[in-house]
């Protein structure tokens, strides 16, 4: 064999044209794609054209490989270094570009151009994320969602590094590493991944009473968002707005989704995680690609020092909200996400948010969590991106001129030009300070001893936790009880379960009771010692509930339509027209992805094969089977799951009479057809179904399908 140059008998020069690419089969039978038409020639990083991207350089066809092959070495060297450290928190994220437009000027309060120039279009980038899971974990973990926003303003970059929850677990940044260590996988076993249902997390939380308000939020449906498009965002901390005279007004930033709020159920989240771990990123990608650009209003809560002093909580404490009923949220503008990234790594992975990125006219409050964050974000970017020059990466670079004497460092793209790299200088070159337009820190009066203490005004840990709980509808309260029971049932240690229930007694006795019964605790523990008694007179705040803020439309939601051979074509046309009229979306699901032959002989292509399109991926479903289709699908486990889950997850269900054998096999009998079912006998019935879907779920059914409801 030695000296033979062909591994098989394929011809060396057989050319197979495929589109713009000419394909040539090489000596070893491998495929070479030749540049032709508009396609560029493959090159090395040094710009040298590459002839063979499939074979290493060898001494003879079977001979040892030669180190001399600089192309091979460069390719593998680049590959070996592809990974950068993932974010220590918020590793799994997804981003998109957009534009912010102000509709109401805040010139009375601030000089920041981004908040004063009505109609000016400000480019921006948003990255949504989960917190605890690693980069490859799933989208539907029960977790807080990050909502980090970068505005490329004409006065420099402004970041709001927000979450979808308006409060945080801890009051002081020095606790952050412990909080995250406790939540992440345990250091010995490295599990559980992307979840808080384990001893370490609840051990830490039960020893940290200040986290109780946040716990009410994280155990609510807020941590199971249906998609990024249906989430609120909150800047959490108070910031300051500074006007032209140097006067300060406190501000809290809110993002309110135009499509309304929506979450999934826990059992649904578990199943979505298996079926489509990329559920949220796919949703964002698909909506932007289809031109259904998601939008959020930017809202502000504004209050002055005097008003702040009148609150019965300290607004500098990040475990507190300022209820919207006390200080309403003023909508001052809207942002639209309308452009996908060209490259995930370039943009979404390399984007570097820093809470310290603010512009003239905006300043920090004295929130100790915020100041701790200001150090952490800058520091982490150096570790992650490897150089203080991370601002030279296009996604991080301001869209205004950058002029300074910073220089050198790894990967520098932008050293100062000319001889002068210092200031002051007498060369008449280089940038200078500008006391008129430059950033001025707010000259807050500060006095005091240096102490490692927490203010007494931060010591009420339960009143707002209770406020959140009593503001929910009964069904939402039940979900909080269910979530706590589930999470604590995963704790091996009884004392941790007991310690948590002791805290719940300070929030709501009913909730503590539900969880104690759910866990079958041997006895009700004493309430946890509290520095301040819980206020039981706070009025409920409807803004805190998802269900109370009902949607006016089903826009942006997706209906799964199950069809099979023999399905009535007119029903499908009627339903899809009604869905489109609502600006909602649909997917056809069938036994074969190639489609189903409808009763008029047409072939309806499917988007999903039945076991690839379970009902958990849809907001509502339609089961439009003929007698023939129903008989066939009734034998299929995936089809049975489809109807069983749609029912169990309280979805609105459109059906044909002929589909009933499938429902029966899924355990849904005639008597179970409740107000959430709409029969589609004729095409015109579709409108009533889509209108019913605006309620998103048929909540009344939950009492029928859940043991915990007893």
Q: Is 389 a catalytic residue?
A: no
Say if residue 83 carries a ligand binding annotation: no
Say if residue 73 carries a ligand binding annotation: no
Say if residue 442 carries a ligand binding annotation: no
Q: Where are the alpha helices (DSSP H) in 520-560?
A: none
CA pseudo-torsion sign 682, 684, 685, 690: positive
| Helix-helix angle 494-507:463-470, to 10 degrees | 80
Rg value, the chain, Cα: 29
Cα 200 to Cα 88, 103, 205, 497: the distances in Å are 18, 47, 9, 12
**Of these residues, 90, 213, 237, 254, which one is catalytic?**
90
Nearer to ligand HDD, 71 or 373 (CB): 373
Chain centroid to Cα 654, Å, comes to: 30
Nearer to ligand HDD, 146 or 260 (CB): 146
Nearer to ligand HDD, 344 or 673 (CB): 344
**Of these residues, 71, 97, 157, 163, which one is catalytic?**
163
Say if residue 499 carries a ligand binding annotation: no
Two tokens, residue 36: 């032709």
Q: Which residues contact 401 (CB under 8 A, 6 or more apart)?
A: none
> Is beta strand 558-562 parallel, antiparallel or unpaired with respect to 620-623?
parallel
* DSSP letters for 131-153: SSS-TTS-TTSS--EEEEEEEEE
Shortest separation between residue 455's beta carbon and ligand HDD, angstroms:
17
Please tell me the distance from the alpha carbon of residue 614 to that of residue 442, in angstroms, as a whole number: 55
Say if residue 586 carries a ligand binding annotation: no
Cα 45 to Cα 71, 342, 386, 441: the distances in Å are 9, 20, 20, 45
Nearer to ligand HDD, 170 or 658 (CB): 170
Q: Is 90 a catalytic residue?
A: yes
Shortest separation between residue 452's beta carbon and ligand HDD, angstroms:
16
Nearer to ligand HDD, 154 or 343 (CB): 343
Q: Which residues contact 63 (CB under 8 A, 6 or more apart)?
A: none
Long-range contacts of range 437-445, CB-CB < 8 Å, 24 or more positions apart? 437/360, 438/360, 439/358, 439/359, 439/360, 440/242, 440/246, 440/360, 441/363, 442/240, 442/242, 442/246, 442/248, 442/363, 442/364, 443/246, 444/248, 444/366
Shortest separation between residue 89's beta carbon and ligand HDD, angstroms:
5
Nearer to ligand HDD, 146 or 560 (CB): 146
Shortest separation between residue 530's beta carbon and ligand HDD, angstroms:
23
Nearer to ligand HDD, 180 or 540 (CB): 180
Nearest to residue 148, comparing CAs of 353, 338, 347, 339?
A: 353
629 sits in which H/E element: helix 627-633
Footprint of ligand HDD on this chain (CB under 6 A)? 87-90, 93, 127, 129, 146, 148, 161-163, 168, 173, 176, 236, 318, 351, 353, 369, 372-373, 376-377, 380
Which residue in the shown chain puts its C-beta closest to ligand HDD? 146
Please tell me the distance from the alpha carbon of residue 608 to that of residue 465, in angstroms, as a whole number: 43
Say if residue 557 carries a ligand binding annotation: no
Cα 411 to Cα 269, 347, 392, 407: the distances in Å are 42, 17, 9, 11
| Helix-helix angle 199-206:494-507, to 10 degrees | 40
Nearer to ligand HDD, 163 or 263 (CB): 163
Q: Pick out the residues of the known binding site for heme.
A: 87, 127, 176, 373, 377, 384
Give the residue numbers marked as catalytic: 90, 163
């Amino acid at each position: 064999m030695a000296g033979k140059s062909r591994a098989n008998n394929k011809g060396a020069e057989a050319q197979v044209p495929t589109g713009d690419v000419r394909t040539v089969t090489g000596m070893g039978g491998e495929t070479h794609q030749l540049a032709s038409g508009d396609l560029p020639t493959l090159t090395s990083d040094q710009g040298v054209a590459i002839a063979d991207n499939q074979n290493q350089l060898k001494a003879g066809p079977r001979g040892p490989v030669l180190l001399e092959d600089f192309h091979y070495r460069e390719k593998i060297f680049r590959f070996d270094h592809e990974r950068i450290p993932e974010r220590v928190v918020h590793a799994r994220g997804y981003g998109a570009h957009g534009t912010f437009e102000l509709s109401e000027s805040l010139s009375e309060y601030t000089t920041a151009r981004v908040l004063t120039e009505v109609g000016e279009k400000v480019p921006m980038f948003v990255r949504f994320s989960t917190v605890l899971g690693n980069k490859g974990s799933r989208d539907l973990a029960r977790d807080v969602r990050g909502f980090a926003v970068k505005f490329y303003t004409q006065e420099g970059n402004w970041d709001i590094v927000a979450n979808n929850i308006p409060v945080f677990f801890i009051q002081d940044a020095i606790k952050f590493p412990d909080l995250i260590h406790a939540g992440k996988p345990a250091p010995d076993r490295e599990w559980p991944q992307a979840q808080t249902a384990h001893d370490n997390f609840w051990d830490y939380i039960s020893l940290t009473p200040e986290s109780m308000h946040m716990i009410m939020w994280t155990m609510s449906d807020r941590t199971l968002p249906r998609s990024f498009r249906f989430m609120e965002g909150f800047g959490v901390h108070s910031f300051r707005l500074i006007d032209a005279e140097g006067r300060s007004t406190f501000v809290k930033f809110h993002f309110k989704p135009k499509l309304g709020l929506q979450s999934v159920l826990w059992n649904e989240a578990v199943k979505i995680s298996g079926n489509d771990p990329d559920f949220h990123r796919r949703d964002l990608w698909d909506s932007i690609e289809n031109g259904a650009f998601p939008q959020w209003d930017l809202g502000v809560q504004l209050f002055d020092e005097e008003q702040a002093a009148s609150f019965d909580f300290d607004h500098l404490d990040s475990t507190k909200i300022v209820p919207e009923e006390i200080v309403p949220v003023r909508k001052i503008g809207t942002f639209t996400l309308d452009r996908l990234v060209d490259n995930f790594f370039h943009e979404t992975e390399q984007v570097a948010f820093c809470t310290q990125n603010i512009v003239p006219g905006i300043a920090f409050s004295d929130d100790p969590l915020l100041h701790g964050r200001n150090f952490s974000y800058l520091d982490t970017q150096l570790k992650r991106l490897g150089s203080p020059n991370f601002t030279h990466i296009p996604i991080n670079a301001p869209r205004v001129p950058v002029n300074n004497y910073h220089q050198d460092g790894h990967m520098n793209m932008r050293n100062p030009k000319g001889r002068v790299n210092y200031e002051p200088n007498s060369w008449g070159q280089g940038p200078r300070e500008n006391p008129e337009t430059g950033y001025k820190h707010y000259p807050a009066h500060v006095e005091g001893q240096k102490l490692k203490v927490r203010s007494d005004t931060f010591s009420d840990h339960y009143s707002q936790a209770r406020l959140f709980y009593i503001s929910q509808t009964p069904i939402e309260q039940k979900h909080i009880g269910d979530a706590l029971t589930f999470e604590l049932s995963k704790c091996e240690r009884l004392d941790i379960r007991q310690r948590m229930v002791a805290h719940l007694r300070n929030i709501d006795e009913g909730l503590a009771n539900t969880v104690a019964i759910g866990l079958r605790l041997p006895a009700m523990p004493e309430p946890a010692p509290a520095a301040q008694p819980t206020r039981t007179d706070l009025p409920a705040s409807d803004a805190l509930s998802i269900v109370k803020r009902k949607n006016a439309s089903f826009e942006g939601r997706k209906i799964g339509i199950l069809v099979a051979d023999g399905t009535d074509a007119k029903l499908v046309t009627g339903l899809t027209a009604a869905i489109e009229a609502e600006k909602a979306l649909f997917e056809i699901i069938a036994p074969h992805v190639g489609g189903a032959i409808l009763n008029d002989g047409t072939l309806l292509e499917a988007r999903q094969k039945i076991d690839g399109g379970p009902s958990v991926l849809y907001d509502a479903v339609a089961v439009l089977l003929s007698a023939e289709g129903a008989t066939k699908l009734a034998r299929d486990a995936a089809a049975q799951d489809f109807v069983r889950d749609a029912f169990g997850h309280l979805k609105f269900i459109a059906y044909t009479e002929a589909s009933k054998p499938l429902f029966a096999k899924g355990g849904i009998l005639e008597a179970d057809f409740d107000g959430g079912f709409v029969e589609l006998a004729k095409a015109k019935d579709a409108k009533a179904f889509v209108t019913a879907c605006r309620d998103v779920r048929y909540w009344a059914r939950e009492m029928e399908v859940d043991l915990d409801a007893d």
